[in-house]
């Protein structure tokens, strides 16, 4: 089924970094924000991500996003979803905490708020997806897995699994260091096994949904220059019974190491390019193409699950690709459905052939 379109029709920002308060009206397809470095282009994409998810893709604390001298910040976004009424989402944060509103009504569940308007982002730090630690790749699986869970009615459960697993993991480490009673360890290991098995199963399903789109996107963006294989690498059993037994068996070694050496917190995506592990053999250009392929697959995976094309945010993507790969990327994006917001210092370098709206960003002011 063809995904419905999700469009950010307008955005209002107040008290966020260097952005000048204004209402910005966006086009339905490609929106290009051009300007020199340090003018506020990335801040604008961050504002969109905040409006969609209630979180920043740049920093863990929203306090860092509030403009110096202001006590609070607010982002108001009006969304058009195909075959649905317009929807207004408002995120306020700062000294008074974080408040999410939809059409004038408060939404207390952040997972319910984040499920409304799917968004995918590529920014320079996304290169850690292939070059950085395994945590970046786990987060990719969990983001897509969240939207798969939304369809199954279990988004809150998916969030709870991750939260309770992390809490139990930290408590088990402290218990091992203290030499707590085996009954305490046993209770924590039961919690880890229940939620760990659920996380592992969800990630396995998510990878199956992503594998084809990742391989297809890489073939298109790289113009078939190399073959790609992708698999989920786990350290230890994925089933509940096997995981709890493995945790019990590792107690002595884990106490010595001061960490838990088995479980889904150690999962990784194994990427193999033409028979060689990507982390040790890929060129910088290949890493960039792989990351864009993973981001493209995230976009397609969410669209297939939710039947809504997510908004795509591309931060300075053209500086990471040569002209041939840049053209291949936008050829690929031309064939997708959905709204794209892209920042650049060189708007003329973007090979966009479909509907396009250009903006200038200077000292936090955004103008058509």
Strand partners, 207: none
State the pLDDT at residue 245: 97
When pLDDT is averaged across residues 278-294 and rounded to a whole number, the result is 85
> Which residue, chain included where needed, has tokens 């306090």?
63
- Kindly report the pTM of this predicted structure: 0.88
When pLDDT is averaged across residues 4-33 and rounded to a whole number, the result is 95
Compute the chain's Rg from CA coordinates: 22
Give the separation between CA 188 and CA 181, rounded to whole angstroms.
11
Q: Is the pLDDT of residue 231 over 90?
A: yes
Catalogue the long-range contacts made by 283-288 (C-beta closer than 8 Å, 24 or more residues apart): 285/321, 285/322, 285/325, 286/222, 286/226, 287/127, 287/130, 287/131, 288/127, 288/320, 288/321, 288/325
Q: Is the pLDDT of residue 354 over 90?
A: no
Domains of the chain: 1-118+310-368 (3.40.50.300), 125-305 (1.20.1050.90)
Q: Which of 207, 175, 206 is nearest to 191 (CA)?
A: 175
Q: Is the pLDDT of residue 265 over 90?
A: yes
Tens of pLDDT, residues 34-79: 999 999 999 999 999 999 999 999 999 999 999 999 999 999 999 9
Question: What average pLDDT is seen over the chain?
Answer: 91
Q: Is the pLDDT of residue 329 over 80?
A: no
Q: Cβ(136)–Cβ(125) under 8 Å? A: no
Tens of pLDDT, residues 159-209: 999 999 999 999 999 999 999 889 999 999 999 999 999 999 999 999 999
Q: Kindly give, in sequence order, each residue whose CB lies less than 8 Å from that of residue 131, ignoring residues fewer than 6 positions away.
A: 279, 287
């Amino acid at each position: 089924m063809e995904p419905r379109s999700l469009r950010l029709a307008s955005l209002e920002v107040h008290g966020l970094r260097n952005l000048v308060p204004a209402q910005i009206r966006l086009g339905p397809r490609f929106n290009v924000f051009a300007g020199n470095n340090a003018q506020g282009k990335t801040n604008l994409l961050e504002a969109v991500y905040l409006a969609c998810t209630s979180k920043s893709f740049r920093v863990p604390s929203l306090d860092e996003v509030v403009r110096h001298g202001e006590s609070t910040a607010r982002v108001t976004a009006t969304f058009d979803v195909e075959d649905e009424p317009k929807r207004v989402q408002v995120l306020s944060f700062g000294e008074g905490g974080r408040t999410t509103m939809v059409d004038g009504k408060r939404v207390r569940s952040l997972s319910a708020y984040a499920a409304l308007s799917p968004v995918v982002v590529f920014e320079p730090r996304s290169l850690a997806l292939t070059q950085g630690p395994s945590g970046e790749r786990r987060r990719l699986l969990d983001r897509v897995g969240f939207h798969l869970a939304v369809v199954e009615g279990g988004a809150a459960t998916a969030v709870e699994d991750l939260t309770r697993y992390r809490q139990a993991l930290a408590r088990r480490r402290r218990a091992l260091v203290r030499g707590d009673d085996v009954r305490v360890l046993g209770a924590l290991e039961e919690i880890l096994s229940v939620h760990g098995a659920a996380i592992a199963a969800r990630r396995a399903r998510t990878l199956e949904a992503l594998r084809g789109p990742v391989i297809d996107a890489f073939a298109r963006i790289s113009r078939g220059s190399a073959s790609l294989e992708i698999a989920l690498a786990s350290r230890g059993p994925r089933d509940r019974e096997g995981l709890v037994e493995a945790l019990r068996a590792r107690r002595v070694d884990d106490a010595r190491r001061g960490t838990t050496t088995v479980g889904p917190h150690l999962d990784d995506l194994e990427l193999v390019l033409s028979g060689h592990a990507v982390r040790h053999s890929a060129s910088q250009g290949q890493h960039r193409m792989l990351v864009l392929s993973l981001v493209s697959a995230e976009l397609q995976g969410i669209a297939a699950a939710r039947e809504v094309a997510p908004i795509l945010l591309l931060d300075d993507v053209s500086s990471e690709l040569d002209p041939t790969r840049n053209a291949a990327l936008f050829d690929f994006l031309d064939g997708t459905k959905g709204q794209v917001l892209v920042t650049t210092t060189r708007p003329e370098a973007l090979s966009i052939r479909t509907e396009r709206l250009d903006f200038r960003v200077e000292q936090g002011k955004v103008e058509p």
